[in-house]
Structures are given as C-alpha cells and as structure tokens.
Structure 1
Amino acid sequence: MPYPFVLPTTSSFSFSSSFTSESHPSLPLQASTHRGVVRDTLKKHKRLPPAAQAPSFSTVAATLQTYLPYLFALDAGLSSKPGHAADDITVILTTAPQIQWRPTVSANPLPGRDPPRTKIASLEYELFFALSTLANTHTLLARTALHPLYQTTTAPVGTAARQTAITTATRHLLDAASIYAHLCARAESLPPTIPPPPCADLDPSTLRAQRALALAEATLLAVLKDDPYPAAVAQARNPHDTEWMYKAPDLPRVRAHLFARLCLAAAEHAAQAAAAAGAVARVDGGFVKYAEDLRRASRARACRFFGIDKELAGETGEGIAWLRAGLGELGVERKGEGKGGGLKGLRKEWSERREDKKVERGLDWGADGGRLEETRVIEMLEAKWVKQNDTMQCQPIPPTGPLLAQMPSGREIHTIKLYQPPLLSPEVLEAMRAPPDGSEEFANHPSSDDETAVAEDSSSSPLGGTYPGRSATGTPGYF
C-alpha cells in the first residue's frame, strides 16, 4: 500500500514535425526539448534495478512538471482554449503525430516480457499519458515515504518521523487523485473527432478507478496516523525494538468509532475502483485484485475498530465477535477451523516471511492491499481478548451476521481539490515569439528500444562495404 505502479516509457518525437506556431515559432521546439528530457529520464529509471528506483521518482516528477506547461500551451493553441497567460497562441496541425507509449495498467499479452507499445496519433492522448504518468509517480512517492514504517530489520521510526511520513504520503495521494479527477472530466468532454482511447490505461473507467483507489488509500492513511496497533505488531517482530515490552497500545474510545466509519468510506471507494476497473476488459487483473483486496482489508479494519470500541466499553464478548467478523471479511480461517491446520499454518508462515523480505528489499511490498498486515493485528487482538474473556469475564460471543448487518455508513475526511494545469509565464511565452534557434538533436534521440535494436544489428553484421579488420572509413583495422 499504495499500489506499486510501473512507470511507462515512450518513443522519441519532435513536435516540429507535426505542429507549427505562427504566434510562437519556438514553442514546438521547446516542447520537443523538454519531452526529450522526460523520455530520457523514464528510460534511465526503467534501466535501474527495482530496489534502486525509489530515489529517481522525484526526478521523474520534476521533469514531467517542467514538460507539462509546454504541452498545455500547445493544446491551448491547437484548440483555441482560453485561460493561458497569453490567449493569442496559435498552433496548426500539419500532419498527424506518430507517438508511442508503453502502457503499464493494461493487460500484458506477452507474460514475462515488456508489453507492446501503444501508438497514438493525437496531442490529447499525449497529454493524457503525461498526466497519468505524473499521477502514478505521486503514488510511488507515497509508497517511498511509507516504506520505513514497515521495515523490521532496522530501528523503528520515531513518532515525529512517522507522522511526517504519513502526512507526506497523504499529500502525494491527494495530488494523484486530483490529477485522475481532472483526466476523468477531460475524457468525458472530448470532442467526437477524437478517436477512442488506444489502451486501457487511458480508458475513462480506468481513470475513475485510479481516482477512487487513491482516495481510498489517502483515507486509510488518516486512520493509520493515529492507529497504534499496526506499529505495535511490527515492533513485536523487530529485534531492534523493545518499546512493546513496557508500553501497550492505547486508543480513545471516541476515536475508535470514528476510525471505523473512515475505514468503511475507504472500503466504498475501493469497491468503486474494483467495479470500474473490472468493467474494462483490457485492464490488468492484478490491478483489479489489488482494489478488491484493499476493500476487504478496509472492511476488516472497520470491524476491528468496532471491536475495540466494544472492548473499551467492557463488552469483550461482542468485541471478539467483531474481530472474527473482520477475519471473515479477509477470508481468513481462525486457528482450529477447517482441515489441514498444520499445513495451512506453514503456508501462512511462509507467506508472512516472503512479505517481510519484500519490505526489506523494497520491491512490490503491500501488493495485497494490506490484508496480511490487518490479519496480523486482528489475530493478535483476538488471542489476547479470548484469553482475557476465558479467564475473567466469561461473556458470550454473539454471532457475526447480525453485527455486519448493522454497520453504519462511511464518513469522508478528504476532499479532492480541483487540479490546476501548470501554465507558462508571460515572460517565457514572449521569448518564444522569436524564431527557433538551435537544433532538435536531443528530442530526436532514439528510444531505449530503438537503441537496443541498433546495437543488436551492428553486433550481428558488419557495415556495408566493410569486412572484419577494416573500418567503415576504409582505413585498416587492428585486431
């Protein structure tokens, strides 16, 4: 948590080959230059090992934010949209652009290999890909901020650092949700002359699913900020921490019921994301599964907080029933239920160790939507409360069905702000009224795949007119 997106890559493209501007002749050249920087940054990021990619997320976000004002200026001049610092931008389409992007949320027809690139012939979808890539980068920045909270091989994070990490991650998720909401509104207002989305990444239903998912994750972070139990469970597995030995988690009763309703709101958003993504036939099944797992984990967390509320009121029996309802939402069998308990226990222990190793290595940890983490917390509380109830209180444990039927509605805490497209300053626009100066060599570099193909061709056969031991210029070669 949040979802581990994979950033796309794109081919090289020169805007001057398809667009001209009479009012700002240098605009296509400047846009091409900044797009070349974005392409090069994404290419370098992809070539990094997965465990070393986290530091480059901020660089990717910075290059996209620098490129987007030029892209919005081209779009404003092409469609004569008002709102720019200079409303007299005129852009003319000379030929249909031929741009390629590699989708990452679409289903991959070639398992084990990179998905095929998607060809787009519209400036509109170039803007969609750039914005969605920025939103995905914000989600990955949120993951990077939260990663230290889940590590158990280093010293635990202090209270102040924990609050800062959660606040930073929440801000990134809300920024991502704002961009997704802008893309959804833009997709619904496209003119009929624009062709349908070329891939599932740009489908309006996929964009709505990503917006709902980002909002669900931000809502859960509002709960995690003051939820002491996940940190207590992580500390119990951390050999570098001893605080759990003398300090028990505490939570005011008034907050327990509020947190439960926030979790229910997150579950509703996750359900919307799963339904919207499931309606797109070409979307990746892992994305749909993550949204469904997040819905289950959110409802289970709500059950846990309802149980904490009852336990604080002295109704331990009903609190245990709420915990068991949470395990049912997660699809987890309690100890002693079903057959083959020993084998299931080994499988569960193995999956927990595997998840801990993913966290340690910084790979695709949390890809289960937080189900494993919530299972650990509920099982810890259930073992403690059952022992307490058996030895002291002896309260009956009611069935879970009536409890789930009386769940209240969710409560919202975040509001998605309206995304403000970045605009070029009047000074920059005025400077681009001059004729272009320089070449577009940086923008016309081949893409990463093109470079690979050229390298393979050059290594497999000598240049025309040459032979081994002789260079292409006709001078003798040396062995």
Structure 2
Amino acid sequence: MPYPFVLPTTSSFSFSSSFTCESHPSLPLNASTHRGVVRDTLKKHKRLPPASQAPSLSTVISSLQSYLPSLFAIDAGLSHKAIHSEEVSVILKSTPQIEWRPTLSHNLITGREPPRTKISSLEYELFFALTTLAAAYTLQSRTALQPLYLTTSAPVGTTQRQTAIASATRSLLDAASIYDFLSSRAAEISDLPPPPCADISASTVRALRSLAMAEATLLAVLKDDPYPAIVAAERNPNDKEWMYKAPDIPKVRAHLFARLCLAAAEQAAQAHALAASGKLSGGFIRYLDDLRRTSRARACRFFGIDAELGEQTGTALAWLLAGLQELGVERKAEQKSKGGLKGLKKEWTERREDKKIERGLDWGADAGKLEETRVIEMLEAKWSKQNDTIMTQAIPPIGPLLAQMPSGREIHSIKPYQPPQLEPDVLEAMRAPPDRSDDSGDYPSSDEETAVEPPVGAFPGTHGDYRTGTPNYY
C-alpha cells in the first residue's frame, strides 16, 4: 500500500507534423520540446533497477508538469478558446500517430513487454499524460511511507512518522484529483472513438479515483494507529526502546477509525467492481480485492479495540476472529493443529516481504494483508491470555457482529484539479515564428537505444545475432 504502479513509456512525436497554430506559431514546437523531455525521463526511469527508481520520480513529475501547460494550450486552441484573455487558434493538419505502452491493461510476463497502443487523438494523449502523472504521485507516496516499515534500521520517531504519512496523503489526494478530473472529462466526450486500451477508459479512471481515496482514507487511520508501529518494532533488532520503556498505546477513537476503514472498504469494493468489468491485469484486480478485505479486517480490529476498552474481552476476541475471517487467514492455533507446513510457509512469506521493503521492490502488493494479520494475531494472543486468566468471558458468534456493522464515514474530499496554463509572458513569446525545425519525430522509439554497440568479442558482421541493450525492469 499504495499500489506499486509501473509507469508507461511513449514514442516520439512532432506536434508540427499534425498541428499548426496561426496565432502562436511556436506553440507546436514548444509542446514537442517538452514532450521529448517527458519521453526521455520515462525511458530513463524504466531502465533503472526497481530499487533505484524512487529518486527519479521527482524528475518524472517535473517533466510532466512542464509538458501539460503546452498540451492543454493546444487542446484549447483546437476549440478556439482563449488563454489569459488571449485567443489561441490551432488547426489540425493531419491525424496524429502516437504510441504509448500501457501497463495496467496487460498481464506482464517475465521477459516480454506489453504491446504498444496507437492513439490518434489529442484527447487520449492528454489522458495518458495525466494518468502517468497520477501514477507517479502514487509511487511518490509509497516512497514516503517505506521508512515506516523498515526493520533493518532504527524505527522512525513520532514526528517523522506523522510527516511521512501527511506527505503520502497529499500525494494520493493529488492523484485522486487528477482521476476525478479525467472522470468528469470522459463523461463529456461523445464524438471520439472508444479508448484504444483499458488503461484510459472511463471505468478504469473511476476505479483509480476510488482506489486513491481508499488508500488516503486508510492513511488517515494509520496516522493515529499505534499498533502497526508496535508490531514492526517487535521485529526490528535495532529497536532498543523496550529495554527501558514499555510501548505507548494511547486510547484511540476506535469506533470512528472503524467507520473510516469501512468507508475505505466500500471505495475499494467500488474500484474492484469497475476494474473487473474491463480488461485489466489480474494482479491489479487482486490488489483491489485484497484492499477491500484488509479494510474490513481493520474495521473489525477497531471494533474489537472498542469492545476491549469497555471490558468486553469476549466480544473483542470475536471481532478479531471476524477480522481473520475477512482476511482469509486461519488462527495460529488452527495452523498448529493441522501441522507446521502452513506456519513455515507464513514465516517464509513474512521474511520475503521484509526483504522487499528493505530493497524497495514491490512491497505491499498484498494491500497490507500481511501487516494487518500480524497486528490482529498480536492482539489475539494478548487478549486470549487475559481472558483465560482474568475475565473468562464467552466468545460470541461472529455472524451477528458482522451483520451489525455500521456504514462507512468519509474523511477526505477531492479538491478540483485545475488544468495548468502557460504563463502570459511565455504565451506572448510564442507569437514569434519558431527558431528551429520541429524534428522531435525523428528520434528512435522510447524502448530503443540511440546507439547500439557490438558486444565485446563478437565476430565482425555478426553483432545482430547477439542480444544487446539495457534490460527492462519492472
């Protein structure tokens, strides 16, 4: 959590080959220049090892933010709309031919890339650019949250934790704002052909909006939820605080947090229903279902915490069992009764997830199911011991508890996305004719090397029989 998106790549494209601007002749060249930077940054980001991609996200975001004002200006010019009270007139000379390599609508097979998608509309170029920016925001939120889950270094302090969660939340809400803008824009499109791939379809954009809101809602709970940090500290050999101080477990607003988790579950369920109707990758659809299960399990845990605070330990344990049922996980006692194989498999899965977090790979691809399972098992062990020795209360059945769950409660609202515009002085300067030719379309594809050197030791004239180039990482 959040979802580990793979950013798409794109081909080169010269706006001057398809568009001309009578009022601002340099506008197509300006758009081609900024788009070439976007293409180059996406190509370089893709070729980095996954563990090294996080630092380049700021460059990707900056290049997209610089490109979008020119793209929106051409879009406005096609409709003869004014920008800063200055009329822009863009004329379509020929149908644009642009290629993007989608990453959500195809199952990624090891050693094989998804096919490129050809688009012939500026509208879908805008959709690809904006969804790429939103995905980069989501990846930036993952980068901010990664230190909270590391077990190979000292745990972060309370202030750093709050700052990281606040930064990640802002990034997710920025992504949700973009998806909401695209969703509204898609509803207004009537004269365009169907989208060339499911990545930019209306249903996918709405699913991504619901996903971003669900993840931002869960972060609002994580900010004041002490239990994940306690569980992570217990696995961290660098944590020495337990030697002189017991962990602080402040009283949480358990019932409120449970309703927030239920709201996240409803948003994840909506995203899953929208994504399942399209041709999206199975891994993405499974993530949405896992997020729904994790959110409901977390709500059960907070209902259990609320019951335990009211000295109803039996009911609290029933809520924890309901949480494990939502996750599809058996109790530890049941695992031991069936043999140690499942327990060994679970330990191996946990160690593998810890290594993914340490290396910055696709950690959290289970939407937090493993983390929530650890928290629930810790509380179950603690409360079971307490109930067996002090309280001795009966554990009620799970069904009636799940049936009386309240509705979810929203906490975030989506801020309207404001399309960026060119600065007035920049737009005025584009009235001058271009100072050079627009040759952006002459560059090789985003997935080709600009120069291919023969491999060392190859017999002259046979380098085409060798596999060269930089490997592609996902």
Whether TM-score is above 0.5 comes out as yes
* Aligned-partner SS, 2:87: coil
Q: Say whether the 8 Å CA contact 2:226–2:250 is kept in structure 1.
A: yes
Measured in 2, the distance between the counterparts of 1:455 and 1:87 equals 50
Corresponding residue number in structure 2 for 1:4: 4
Query: Given residue 51 of structure 1, which amino acid in structure 2 is its aligned partner?
Result: A
| 2:37 is the counterpart of 1:37 | yes
CA offsets, 1:443-469, max 9 Å, x none?
632123343796689x99869xxxxxx
| 2:115 is the counterpart of 1:104 | no
Q: Say whether the 8 Å CA contact 1:152–1:239 is kept in structure 2.
A: yes
CA offsets, 1:76-102, max 9 Å, x none?
0012345x2144100000010110000
Which residue, 219, 222, 225 being the options, matches 1:221?
219
Which residue, 263, 280, 285 being the options, matches 2:282?
285
The Cα shift of 1:195 comes to 1.1
How many residues in Structure 1 have an aligned counterpart in Structure 2? 458
- Pick closer, same or farther for the CA change 1:287–1:109 going to 2, 3 Å: closer
- Pick closer, same or farther for the CA change 1:456–1:24 going to 2, 3 Å: farther
Measured in 1, the distance between the counterparts of 2:250 and 2:442 equals 59
- Kindly report which structure 2 residues correspond to 1:437-476, keeping only aligned pairs within 5 A, or say none: 437-441=435-439, 444-451=442-449
Which residue, 297, 307, 326 being the options, matches 2:323?
326
Corresponding residue number in structure 1 for 2:51: 51
* Aligned-partner SS, 2:99: strand
Bigger mean CA deviation after superposition, 158-167 or 72-81: 72-81
Structure 1: state its 5+ residue gaps: 464-479
Corresponding residue number in structure 2 for 1:186: 185
- Pick closer, same or farther for the CA change 1:239–1:452 going to 2, 3 Å: same
Corresponding residue number in structure 2 for 1:472: none
Q: Say whether the 8 Å CA contact 2:314–2:394 is kept in structure 1.
A: yes
Measured in 1, the distance between the counterparts of 2:120 and 2:152 equals 49
Q: Say whether the 8 Å CA contact 1:219–1:413 is kept in structure 2.
A: yes
| 2:333 is the counterpart of 1:299 | no
Which residue, 310, 315, 318 being the options, matches 1:313?
310
Measured in 2, the distance between the counterparts of 1:342 and 1:355 equals 20
Measured in 1, the distance between the counterparts of 2:332 and 2:107 equals 38
Corresponding residue number in structure 1 for 2:466: none
If the length of structure 1 is used for normalisation, what is the TM-score? 0.92
Measured in 2, the distance between the counterparts of 1:100 and 1:118 equals 5
* Aligned-partner SS, 2:6: coil
CA offsets, 1:91-136, max 9 Å, x none?
0000101100000111237553111110001111110000000000
* Aligned-partner SS, 1:20: strand
Query: Given residue 52 of structure 1, which amino acid in structure 2 is its aligned partner?
Result: S
- Pick closer, same or farther for the CA change 1:247–1:80 going to 2, 3 Å: farther
Measured in 2, the distance between the counterparts of 1:142 and 1:429 equals 33
Which residue, 210, 232, 235 being the options, matches 2:208?
210
Measured in 1, the distance between the counterparts of 2:304 and 2:234 equals 22
Query: Given residue 157 of structure 1, which amino acid in structure 2 is its aligned partner?
Result: V
- Pick closer, same or farther for the CA change 1:436–1:148 going to 2, 3 Å: same
Measured in 2, the distance between the counterparts of 1:11 and 1:456 equals 25
Corresponding residue number in structure 2 for 1:67: 67
| 2:358 is the counterpart of 1:366 | no
Corresponding residue number in structure 1 for 2:158: 159
| 2:182 is the counterpart of 1:175 | no
Query: Given residue 13 of structure 2, which amino acid in structure 1 is its aligned partner?
Result: F
Bigger mean CA deviation after superposition, 2-11 or 446-455: 446-455
Measured in 1, the distance between the counterparts of 2:406 and 2:45 equals 45
Measured in 2, the distance between the counterparts of 1:401 and 1:109 equals 39
Q: Say whether the 8 Å CA contact 2:14–2:439 is kept in structure 1.
A: no
- Pick closer, same or farther for the CA change 1:99–1:442 going to 2, 3 Å: closer
Query: Given residue 165 of structure 2, which amino acid in structure 1 is its aligned partner?
Result: I
Q: Say whether the 8 Å CA contact 2:81–2:88 is kept in structure 1.
A: no
Structure 2: state its 5+ residue gaps: 463-474
CA offsets, 1:49-80, max 9 Å, x none?
11000000011000000000000000000123
Q: Say whether the 8 Å CA contact 1:33–1:442 is kept in structure 2.
A: yes
Q: Say whether the 8 Å CA contact 1:36–1:443 is kept in structure 2.
A: no
Measured in 1, the distance between the counterparts of 2:301 and 2:372 equals 9
Corresponding residue number in structure 1 for 2:196: 198
- Pick closer, same or farther for the CA change 1:215–1:109 going to 2, 3 Å: closer
If the length of structure 2 is used for normalisation, what is the TM-score? 0.93
- Pick closer, same or farther for the CA change 1:197–1:228 going to 2, 3 Å: same
Corresponding residue number in structure 1 for 2:263: 265
CA offsets, 1:151-184, max 9 Å, x none?
0001111111100000000000000000001111
Measured in 1, the distance between the counterparts of 2:146 and 2:30 equals 37
Q: Say whether the 8 Å CA contact 1:35–1:443 is kept in structure 2.
A: no
* Aligned-partner SS, 1:364: coil
Query: Given residue 302 of structure 1, which amino acid in structure 2 is its aligned partner?
Result: A
Measured in 2, the distance between the counterparts of 1:17 and 1:182 equals 29
The Cα shift of 1:336 comes to 2.8
Measured in 1, the distance between the counterparts of 2:359 and 2:402 equals 38
| Superposition CA RMSD, Å | 1.9
Corresponding residue number in structure 2 for 1:471: none
Q: Say whether the 8 Å CA contact 1:155–1:241 is kept in structure 2.
A: yes
CA offsets, 1:394-431, max 9 Å, x none?
11111111000000111110000110000011111110
Corresponding residue number in structure 1 for 2:422: 424
Measured in 2, the distance between the counterparts of 1:25 and 1:456 equals 43
CA offsets, 1:190-211, max 9 Å, x none?
132x111000101111111100
Query: Given residue 365 of structure 1, which amino acid in structure 2 is its aligned partner?
Result: W
Q: Say whether the 8 Å CA contact 2:317–2:383 is kept in structure 1.
A: yes
Corresponding residue number in structure 2 for 1:474: none
Measured in 1, the distance between the counterparts of 2:30 and 2:127 equals 19
Measured in 1, the distance between the counterparts of 2:25 and 2:358 equals 51
Measured in 1, the distance between the counterparts of 2:141 and 2:108 equals 29
CA offsets, 1:275-310, max 9 Å, x none?
100010x21111111011000000000000000011
Corresponding residue number in structure 1 for 2:409: 411
